[in-house]
Amino acid sequence: MDILGNPNEIRDDWAARENIEIICTSIKTVVEFLNRFHSSCRLRLAELDNRLKRIEKSLDLMDANLNYNVSVQGQLQSSNLTSNETRSDTFVHQLTPCCSNFHSSQHYLSTGLAVRCFSVKDVDSTASVPT
């Protein structure tokens, strides 16, 4: 029996070992890439989750503020209606144009200078007030 064995078997064995080494190295490379990708995705998802939580909190705050403002405005309107119904001697201030060129002076309204264009006139609350 030959100590070295069959040279073809040895060559085939080395080729098989090289193939196994290449496959193992490739698997290690793929696993390392997938681990890095997994870590990167988890980090990005955590950042996105934090952003969404902040947006939800600010949205809840804005919603609560809006609901509060709507309820306060409703309470003020209902209290104004009841106070106007109970007191008949209340006078309502009605804005009436005092300029002869009222339509040409609409820009006063947009600039906040409505005082120049309107005068306040007291009207009995029982009279019909245009809206």
The answer on 109 and 48 residing in a single domain is no
In which domain, by residue range, is 92 found?
A: 88-131
Lowest mean pLDDT among 12-16, 21-25, 77-81: 77-81
The residue among 75, 89, 83 whose CA lies nearest residue 123 is 89
49 and 104 assigned to the same domain:
no
Is residue 7 located within the same domain as residue 48?
Answer: yes
The continuous run of DSSP H or E covering 92 comes out as: strand 91-97
When divided into structural domains, the chain yields a total of: 2
| Confidence band, pLDDT 50/70/90 cuts, at residue 97 | very low
How far apart, in Å, are the Cα atoms of 71 and each of 1, 19, 25, 68?
102, 76, 68, 5
Model confidence band, residue 29 (pLDDT cutoffs 50, 70, 90): very high
- Identify which of 65-69, 107-111, 113-117 has the greatest average pLDDT: 65-69
pLDDT at 78: 79
Tens-place pLDDT, residues 67-82: 888 888 888 887 777 6
Residue 123 clears pLDDT 50, i.e. is over it: no
71 with 7, same domain: the answer is: yes
Question: 9 and 72: one domain?
Answer: yes
**Is the same domain home to 127 and 68?**
no
Residue 95 has pLDDT above 80, yes or no: no
Do 19 and 50 sit in the same domain of this protein? yes
Q: Give the pLDDT confidence of 30-47 residue by residue, as tens digits.
A: 999 999 999 999 999 999
